[in-house]
Each structure stands twice: as structure tokens, then as C-alpha cells.
Amino acid sequence: MPPTVAIDFFPESVARYREDHAIVAVDVIRATTTAVTAVAIGWRCYPTPSLEAAVPLAARLQNPLLVGELGGNMPYGFDLTNSPAELAGRTDITRPLILLSTSGTQLLWEARTAPAAYAACLRNYSSQVRHLAGRFDKVAVIGAGSRGEFREEDQLCCAWIADGLIQSGYEAANPATLEIVERWRGQPVESFLPSHSVAYLQRTNQLRDLDYILAHIDDLQAVFLLENDHLVMRGVLAERETSRPTLPQPAGPGSA
């Protein structure tokens, strides 16, 4: 049987795949973009599922940087909200970083006992495909979801990863997966802009993060694997570059 790829969403969906799938967690706005950015810069990043988990972890670590939000609000005592743009401007990378978000970090936490669990975003979607292809027979690409919605930015990223695997010989695990792939195949990256997540960034004067996301499309040649309680960066092997599939090529912001 050919290998399969499934698209799903919400942290609660992880239980369907945890036993025998590699799981790719996607929360473009903003948890996995923040996590990937942090680790790529050099932070040791600890995704946490809840404030109740973050507080005792912070007590055990030396001078941690507390980053995150719950319901769109930065918890009391945190250093900054879940902002990849703000994080990218900092230089205190020797501090351990604790990351908390409403659904993205919970999704990663739920996936931690899977055969492999990855944080992915638009910064590394093609590297994620090349790393997974031929390595796992079953892959689940799961969007974090927010307020009961599978947001457009997560649909697009999940679809591009799944589409790359399909081009590498995988089959869609179900009709819903194929429908999402076909909906977003060939779409420009700015096609996710009607998302409620974008409206939230605009409403709260955080469009700097949207600009950061749109300016960093597929710029990291690495994957980000959850090992025990923190994320580690793994480069994509050079030999896989020679047989890479034709992956979706995003158009730049403002393109037709």
C-alpha cells in the first residue's frame, strides 16, 4: 500500500493519529511561526499546553523568557506576546524560552508521544515535505484551529505540505484531505488574508507579525522536531534535494 497523508485540525484531533502517524503541527498565526523562528535563531524553546504547565516549568529553568498568549491576551508575568517579529529582534538567545498559545502549543503537546512530532509553518513547508517523504508511511498534518475554525492560513500551509507529499507518491487519506489540497493548490500566499486571524492582528495593531510572515516564506531549510519537552532543529539532508518534488510556489504579496 502507498503511504498516506491526512489533513485535520484542532488539538483534540491528535488522538486519532498519535499511535502510528508522524504529526506535523501548524499554527501559522502565530505559535509555530514563533517557535520555528525562535529555534532557528538559537533559543531552546519549550512549547507548553497551559499556563498551569508553564509556571512550574519557569520555576525550574534559569531566567526563562516567557512568550505567549491565551485568548489573545498576554498572561501576567510574561515578557512578550506570541510575536515572531518581536522575538526576531531580540538578542538574549541564551535564555530558555517558554512558549504558550491558545491552541498551537497545546497541539504540539498532544502530539509529543507520536512516532515523530514537528512544528511547521510557511517558513519551512517545503523542507518539511522533503524530510517526511519516504521516511514515514503515515503522516497527519494538523492545523491548530482557533475559536472553532480551521483558519485559512493553516489550511493553506497544511495543504501545501500534503500536496508536496502527494507529489512524492503519497495518497490522500480521505476525501476531506484531497478537497483541502485541491482548494489551495496553486493559490498565492496572500489568499489567506481574509482570515479572522489577520483581522485580529489588524484590530490589535499587530500587523507587524503578518508582514514578518509574508516576508519569510520558505526561507528555512530545516525541520523542527519535538524531542521530550523542547524543539530541536534538523537540517534537511542534501541528498534529498536532488529528488525534490515540484512544490507549490507562493506568489509574493500583492501578486495576481
The pLDDT value given to residue 1: 87
Q: What's the pLDDT score for residue 109?
A: 96
**If one looks up domain 4-231 in CATH, what number appears?**
3.90.1560.10
Q: pLDDT digit string (tens) for 47-75?
A: 999 999 999 999 999 999 999 999 889 99
Q: How many CA atoms lie within 13 A of 132 on its CB side?
A: 38
Cβ proximity of 105 and 229 under 8 Å: no
| Closest alpha carbon to 82 in 127, 45, 57 | 45
- pTM across the whole model: 0.91
Q: Smallest Cα–Cα separation from 83: which of 38, 122, 45?
A: 38
Strands (E), the chain: 4-9, 22-26, 45-48, 65-68, 97-100, 116-120, 138-143, 171-172, 222-227, 230-235
Q: Mean per-residue pLDDT for 16-43?
A: 97
Domain ranges of the chain: 4-231
DSSP-assigned beta bridge partners for residue 65:
97
- Phi/psi region, residue 77 (left: phi>0; alpha: psi -120 to 50; beta: rest), is left
For the chain, the C-alpha Rg in angstroms (whole number) is: 17
